[in-house]
Amino acid sequence: MLDVLVVGAGPAGSVAATVLARAGARVRIVDRSMFPRDKLCGDTVNPGTLGLLRRLNMAAAIDGCGLPVAGMRVTGERGVVIEGRYRDGVTGRSLLRRHLDWMLLQDALAAGAQFEPACTVRGAVMDGGRVAGVRVSGRPFGGEVRARVTIAADGRRSTLAFGLGMARHPARPRRWAMGLYVENAEVAGLPRDLGEMHVRSGRYIGIAPVPGGLTNVCVVRPWRPGEHAFGDPKTVVFGELARDPLLRDRFAGARLAGAPAVLGPLAVDVNDAVHVNGLLLAGDAAGFIDPMTGDGLRFAVRGAELAALAALDALEHGWQGVHERLATRRRAEFSAKWRFNRLLRSLVTSPAAIGGASLGARLAPAGLRAAIEYAGDVGYA
């Protein structure tokens, strides 16, 4: 029997598998996709996430590719523009998620983890009230994969977390993300080493240059009937760009490069009081609110490391207190940042708050620059 089965080969799954395999555990990763695969994302790794990956000896390939991200350019209503660079020359990286995820998966395989792609998890295998593995389809042998510990790192629509009643999509916020790549975007006079966040009433637009001369554009806004999964995301995204005074000229000649993507609803609530022995959650499966500050990958990487350490604890000592200790460590690690992110999102939903924040940015730009550093997790770099 496996020691640990990891469901999901994204950053959280690969980091958890790497930590476990290096500790001597017998680990297998399963994922429904073939890799490399595309995924909707802002395509930036902030300095704090890069620092965590370096500490885990998982950043060697990332450091050598992509584009540097030296800070953020934030705009608000009424023409407010603030540029903030990370201190001491600290940088993140901009690279496609298909490349990032593939690099991290290679680290897991090099550590000794096994990987089975094109393997769809249908539900948990229960044994005496605990999770003893998963039921799968798409594998050439058998319908069950059993393990002493299962880590659900299968994203914000986690089959295991939702199937066992541990996660739900809350009524609010109900936001969708629509993203695409364009070529021929006008960048003359703009710094190419800054990510961009354009905060508008009720929505925000993230923009990032990526390798190959492309630009990632992602719009996050509330659901409206007839749009998102039921409409044309290209029309929605290009419509947002065309009606924005600061962006319309830059993207007037832009051309779509590849298929657009839609993701939603974004928010996932997980109740820490509901847990099942044999199962741990990591990454977006452990809870997700659209991270407009670009720090979702740090939550995934550090959260996966904590889940892996909890799995090693369970393997050695049993399940008594494992979930409670993991929840305590996650709160200690992330609670301040969660509050910060919720505060920023509350600004987006209130026109009055957007106006006040824009005025504050004009009068005290140093405060926004400090927020940019905090959002970039520079303290972990």
CATH of domain 175-264: 3.30.9.30
Tokens describing residue 187? 């960048």
Beta strands at 194-200 and 71-75: parallel, antiparallel or unpaired: parallel
**For position 231, what pLDDT does the model report?**
64
Integer Cα distance of 38 and 221 in angstroms: 22
DSSP assignment of 197-223? EEEETTEEEEEEEETTTEEEEEEEEE-
Place of tokens 């670009």: 294
* pLDDT at residue 357, as a whole number: 57
Q: DSSP for 18-78?
A: HHHHHTT--EEEE-SS-SS----S--EE-HHHHHHHHHTT--HHHHTSSEEE-EEEEE-GG
Q: What is the pLDDT of residue 67?
A: 94
pLDDT along the chain (381 residues), means of 10: 96 98 98 91 92 96 91 81 86 94 97 95 95 87 88 94 90 83 84 88 89 92 60 88 93 93 85 90 87 80 97 98 96 87 67 58 65 80 76
Per-residue model confidence as pLDDT tens digits over 20-51: 999 999 999 999 999 999 888 889 999 999 99
Burial class (CB in 10 A: 0-12, 13-18, 19+), 366: exposed
**So what's the pLDDT on residue 276?**
96
CB-based contacts of 53, cutoff 8 Å, min separation 6: 45, 59, 62, 104, 301
Q: Please report the pLDDT score of residue 140 as a whole number.
A: 64
8-state DSSP, 86: P
User: Whole-model pTM above 0.85?
Assistant: yes
Number of H helices, E strands in the chain: 10, 20
Q: What is the pLDDT of residue 359?
A: 58
Q: How far apart, in whole angstroms, are the C-alpha atoms of residue 378 and residue 86? A: 7
Summarised one tens digit per residue, pLDDT across range 105-145 is 999 999 999 999 999 999 999 999 999 999 999 766 568 99
* Per-residue model confidence (pLDDT) at position 228: 47
What's residue 222's pLDDT?
80
Q: What is the pLDDT of residue 279?
A: 98
CA distance 371 to 105: 32
Asked if 19 and 305 count as a contact pair (C-beta separation under 8 A), the reply is: yes
Domain boundaries, the chain: 2-43+96-171+267-346, 175-264
Question: Would you state the CATH architecture of domain 2-43+96-171+267-346?
Answer: 3-Layer(bba) Sandwich (3.50)
Q: Which residue from 326, 178, 329 is spatially nearest to 239, judged by alpha carbons?
A: 178
- Beta bridge partner(s), residue 179: 218, 261
Do 47 and 92 meet the contact criterion of CB atoms below 8 Å apart?
A: yes
